[in-house]
Amino acid sequence: MKTMMANPCNFAADLEKWIIYIIYVKEAPPTVYYIPNFITETEEEYLLQQVYRAPKPKWTQLSGRRLQNWGGLPNSKGMLAEKLPDWLLKYTEKISAFGAFAGKSTNHVLVNEYKPGEGIMPHEDGPLYHPTVTTISLGSHTLLDLYSPVCETQLEIPQTEESHYMLSLLVQRRSLLILKDNVYERCFHGIQGVCEDTLSEHVVNLSSAQSQVGDTLPRGTRISLTICNVPKVIRANLLLGKK
């Protein structure tokens, strides 16, 4: 697979070339794009510096990871929008220019820190976001596992991660991963809390990630920049009753 082209316009024109896997759920094909070397080593170092320069109160400690929230706090009533910092704008605007959000602009970024042995349970990102999620990875690789949705007709059958596991994606540092459509809306995704990953035949993008079955990759501390669009936004002037 070719490395990322420098001109964003070329990327928008050739987006379909980056499809690595299509999962069919009730005849609706969702899409996964994996773009290696989306940013340079210099950009990666710069972004890591900015993440760790954030004031301590910006971090929220969760089970298995900690995070920073930029752009506002999404909720069902609407996100009170906050301006993204300049160090993120270059990348949010670049991804918006690709057309990943159907002409909408990115306005929200979650910065997650995963140390070796940390992960996140299988989950959906939910309807508060446009049905596309884009993630830039810094510092380390990870394996992202995808799971089939739970069918209401199957509720009487014991539901386990193993019974719904579908495939894994090797997400390398400096890459961009895009999950769209039903793979976002219907499937679950998660990260196992392990210190190293042994690659199997279930990792569907080994060729694009320049790895092979049987490779064992130790994890380092990984920072993910999850870049999204929150459609329902409340402007500060509207909140204050101003026109």
CATH classification at residue 37: 2.60.120.590
C-alpha torsion angle, residues 203, 205, 211, 213 (rounded to 10): 30
The answer to the question of residue 157 being in a domain is: no
pLDDT digits (tens, 9 = 90+) for 41-87: 999 999 999 999 999 999 999 988 999 999 999 888 889 989 999 99
Note whether residue 156 is domain-resident: no
Q: Report the domain count for the chain.
A: 1
pLDDT at residue 211 in the model: 83
**pTM, whole model, 2 decimals?**
0.84
| 1 in any annotated domain | no
CB atoms within 10 A of CB 112: 20
- The DSSP output letter for 14 is T
Q: Which helix (H) or strand (E) holds 35?
A: strand 31-35
pLDDT at 222: 98
Q: Which domain holds residue 187?
A: 8-151+162-236
Q: Which residues of the chain have pLDDT under 70?
A: 1-30, 150-159, 236-243
Q: Give the pLDDT confidence score for residue 240 in this predicted structure.
A: 47
Q: Where are the beta strands (DSSP E) in 71-218?
A: 79-80, 108-114, 120-123, 132-138, 142-147, 165-171, 176-180, 188-191, 196-198, 216-218
pLDDT attached to residue 36: 87
Render the burial of 8-17: b for 16+ CB within 10 Å, e for the rest. beebeeebee
